[in-house]
Amino acid sequence: MTAEDTKEQIMRSAELLFARDGYASTSLREITDLAGANIAAVNYHFGSKEKLLVEILDQIIGPINEERIKLLDEAESESIPDVTQVLTAFLLPDLHVLQQLRSRDPSLPRFVSRMYSEGSELMYKVMGRQFAEAQVRFYAAFQRAIPGLSGEEIAWRLNCVVGIVLYLFASVQAPGMPPMMGEDVEDDLRRLLDVTVPLVSAAAGKVMTPGG
Amino acid sequence: MTAEDTKEQIMRSAELLFARDGYASTSLREITDLAGANIAAVNYHFGSKEKLLVEILDQIIGPINEERIKLLDEAESESIPDVTQVLTAFLLPDLHVLQQLRSRDPSLPRFVSRMYSEGSELMYKVMGRQFAEAQVRFYAAFQRAIPGLSGEEIAWRLNCVVGIVLYLFASVQAPGMPPMMGEDVEDDLRRLLDVTVPLVSAAAGKVMTPGG
DNA sequence: GTACGATTCAAATAGTCATTTGAATTGACC
DNA sequence: GGTCAATTCAAATGACTATTTGAATCGTAC
């Protein structure tokens, strides 16, 4: 096994076990056993268990935001994109990565949602670094596409969309539940847009509570 | 310190540390240090670290579903409730618990979302047991309130709502983010209904993807 | 005030953890 | 074929883990 093979095997084994059991509950011993490598190889290739996690996170989250910006660039090059187009640019990369992770292993999508809610400092640092550029672009695009909503309200609603997406990642293989995503990315996107377009473009203060 | 005080202190300390660092990363030593108790007290009062977690989970999740059913009973006793009324019965108990947890400690709401995505077998068992009754009732109520949507589609959309709620719990004290919830439960509910009513009652297959 | 059950305590057990170390092995270039 | 750096290995380190044990302490009812 060449050096690169070992490093690759360690990363693939680690993300699988992190997804299934969580970061803290997974020992380097389990990882290297699954990878067919020696424990010391982790510290040789990555430096520490934590740096191994960061490298895996970057590899997954990085491409999502790169593709998001690419799609938004394309949409904006033609005309001012509407809500559906902006949301598509935002969501499609998620679905692509979800599909790709799932094809590698059904329990892998859970890795993302799991690391988000576990990750404390570490995950927020990685996400902040990776999402910073896309965030500015998408906030601006949504503000153009949805008249009459404050920037704060748009940010809030986009967070709701993120919440739904993270739940999708968590629920791909939740025990005792029907899968929330199908085989076809286009179908999944349509279904997501059906609910998220009304979600982000709904008029504020429209609904009256029964008590009020 | 009386026996009940010790047990209470251990539970309060444990949920705080579980919320902050996760279940696996929190040792009984940390818990009992914070609680001012001896390690053996955990095994005396709860039997094991895992049973301690289950008791905390039941204490938090149980009341949510009890109140959900109570509110739905009240709404259905007058007339057939509309989407807003059913969603209110579903969401208001979440907000109450969120508020209550936050008043105890700002990092506590994260406990719920964290346990969900860490969840493995254990959390799903607790949730399944606690949510089983409410699930049947709410699926039926939504099907009455939203004509033209299949039961499967309603279940899918309700899952989206759950995703948003879990994200709310996770984001109350996310580092580097503005809080998603305010001080007033009524305001928060209104804001949530603004987006979730359109979400669950949107027509299916309405949106056309740019590529299609 | 003394006996008893409930509770708490310090100490020990047996195991696992991430990381380090220095020797052994490998593969590519001269 | 020899050399050197890159990589892998087994073994050891030191610290931490949940749980168990039996003695000590507490509150309370008689």
pLDDT tens digits, A83-141: 999 999 999 999 999 999 999 999 899 888 888 877 667 888 888 888 888 999 999 99
Of the candidates A121, A195, A198, the beta carbon closest to that of B175 is on: A121
Judge whether residue B80 has pLDDT over 50.
yes
B116 touches chain A (CB under 8 A): yes
Judge whether residue A179 has pLDDT over 80.
no
Pair of tokens at residue B29: 């030593």
Distance in angstroms: CA A96, C1' D9: 39
Alpha helices in A22-119 (DSSP H): 28-35, 39-45, 49-78, 83-104, 109-118
Other Cβ atoms less than 10 A from the Cβ of A174: the count is 18
Greatest alpha-carbon pair distance for chain B in Å reads: 68
Average pLDDT over chain B, rounded to an integer: 89
CA distance B17 to B101: 14
Reported confidence tier of residue A186, pLDDT bands at 50, 70, 90: very high
SS3 A178: coil
Residue B212 distance to chain A (closest CA, Å): 9
Tell me, what's the pLDDT at A210?
A: 43
Other Cβ atoms less than 10 A from the Cβ of B1: the count is 10
Residues of A in contact with B180 (CB under 8 A): 156, 159
Of the candidates A167, A180, A186, the beta carbon closest to that of B209 is on: A186
* 3-class DSSP string for B110-155: HHHHHHHHHCHHHHHHHHHHHHHHHHHHHHHHHHHHCCCCCHHHHH
